[in-house]
Structure 1
Amino acid sequence: MRAVLVVMLIVMPYALLPDIDQDSTQIVALIAVFGGLFTIVEYTAKSPSLVEFRDAPPFNRVRFSALFATVLSLSVIFRGEVIPSDITIAFQDSGAQLGQAVDFPYSPVRLMVQMMPEGTDPVMLDRIRDAAGLSYLLSLLSVIWFVILLRLYRWPRRNDTFNVWINLPTFDPTAGGDVVRRLKRDGRINIILGILLPFIVPLVIKLMAQLGTPIGFDSAQTLIWTVSAWAFLPASIMMRGVALSRVAQMIHLQRKRAYDRDESRGAMAV
């Protein structure tokens, strides 16, 4: 089921938007197959290589749901440019209201609009603002929802089992230094980076265009994936920072209980 959902996510923009050439279809099919196989391998192997918190739901479920909702919403918005319907109009109106609400000076949405090259169609700029506003709201809601679930279910120790090696395959506890201190530091860095990325990415894209290496936004699919990545990656990094901080707190509490137990046993022995 996870692999099927990943394939649906990759194929969705190209299935909802018309006028897709044969070469693009083959590339999308190849990427979708690779994504499905990667998901199967990661979730069936005893030792995962990249996917973090594999056995600590709902971390990955919240992240995937946020990305899926973002890509679906943007695909529907841009589909309305070619094949309008009641559903596409509803998504466009919602995105327009959200985009106008957060489109103020130096906001991430304003920076996303300003990164577009000069001469871009004003209608396309409006759609980009609508898409950016909607996707940015979805990313914020995903982070808030994850924090709520963390508090409600005492994540990640709902079943009193948490394997650091399985759930943090990219973290080396033997690299040196205290594990709790390193997890807290990495958590803070991820949270700060997640807050800054929505502002940094548009500036980097604008700088690349001025240096002569612009990113082509002629295709609606390119815009969908660019805006989705711009909104999803910071939210995902922030959730990872919160998760690492929670794991550090859990290890600290376990250490404290172990020290208190050892001290009590020592006192009884005396």
Structure 2
Amino acid sequence: MVVFLIATPYALLPITSQDSAQIVALVAVFAALFTLVEYTARSPSLVEFRDAPPFNRVRFSALFATVLCLSVIFRGEEAPSEITAYFQQSGAQLGQTLDVPYSPVRLMVWMMPEGTDDSVLDRIRSAAGLSYLLSTFSVIWFIVLLRLSHWPPRNEAFNVWINLPTFDPTAGGDVVNRLRRDGIINILLGILLPFLVPLVVKLTDFVGTPLSLDSPQTLIWTVSAWAFLPASILMRGVALSRVAGMISAQRQRAFAREEQRGAMVL
């Protein structure tokens, strides 16, 4: 699935050079091997919630849907069809609807350097509108799934070491408080990133090379990352808060059992 994700834009859109095809194949193989090692190793190093679905499933599905939809939109410029026309019209309508003052879509269009062709701006507007809607829907769907499945399940073991390899429980302070703090930080960061990234890119234009999104492949991955990363961070914040609640509930049950035992002994 990771190989399909990386190869989708280059399978649906023309590749300009043979070197590009080789680079795509190399990146796809490396990403697939990394995912395979992370999911088969006894202890992962970076991938969180490996054994706690649906966290990674929702994240991957959201990213794949975004990349696929944007690839279909830009394929319509090379090989028009009824499907590509439908996606193009939907993306354009969403972009126009969400392109309001101070919205993330407006900021994405605003971050482009002066003199950018109108056709490129229309591309960015459509891609940003569709991507932002998909990322928002994925976050809502993730929260609904957590509510319906009561994730993480109370009757099953949740290995913090396996599912949170980058979190050190022995670093100091209460684990529950740290998880809740990290969860709040991630939620706030996920909400603010769609607004902050265009501002940072705009500021870097004054000291570096202006951002160029003329290539459809570059535009697809840039906009997908802009929409996916904040949504992923926000979902991580929600998941950390849920894990903190699970640990807190387990503590309360353990304290209640100890009190009952103490009462029975007395």
TM-score normalised according to structure 2 size: 0.98
Q: Distance in 2 between matches of 1:177 and 1:135?
A: 38
- Work out whether 1:249 is the aligned partner of 2:217: no
Aligned to 1:200: 196
Aligned to 1:226: 222
Residues paired across the two proteins, number? 266
Shift of 1:142: 0.4
Aligned to 1:20: 16
The residue identity in structure 2 corresponding to 1:267 is A
Q: Distance in 2 between matches of 1:218 and 1:133?
A: 18
Aligned to 2:254: 258
- 1:97-151 per-position Cα deviation (integer Å, ceiling 9, x unaligned): 1111111000000000111122222122112111100000000000000000001
The residue identity in structure 2 corresponding to 1:72 is L
Which ranges of structure 2 fall in alignment gaps of 5 or more residues? Answer: none
| C-alpha RMSD of the superposition | 1.0
Aligned to 1:9: 5
The residue identity in structure 2 corresponding to 1:215 is L
Aligned to 2:103: 107
Q: Distance in 1 between matches of 2:25 and 2:12?
A: 15
Q: State percent identity of aligned pairs.
A: 77
Q: Distance in 2 between matches of 1:67 and 1:233?
A: 9
Q: Give the match's secondary structure for 1:210.
A: coil
Superposed structure 1 runs of 4+ greater than 6 Å apart: none
Say which of 152, 166, 175 aligns to 1:170.
Answer: 166
The residue identity in structure 2 corresponding to 1:186 is D
Q: Distance in 1 between matches of 2:53 and 2:154?
A: 9
- 1:191-238 per-position Cα deviation (integer Å, ceiling 9, x unaligned): 000000000001111111121232332211111100000000000000
Q: Distance in 2 between matches of 1:164 and 1:141?
A: 28
The residue identity in structure 2 corresponding to 1:171 is F
Q: Distance in 2 between matches of 1:165 and 1:255?
A: 18
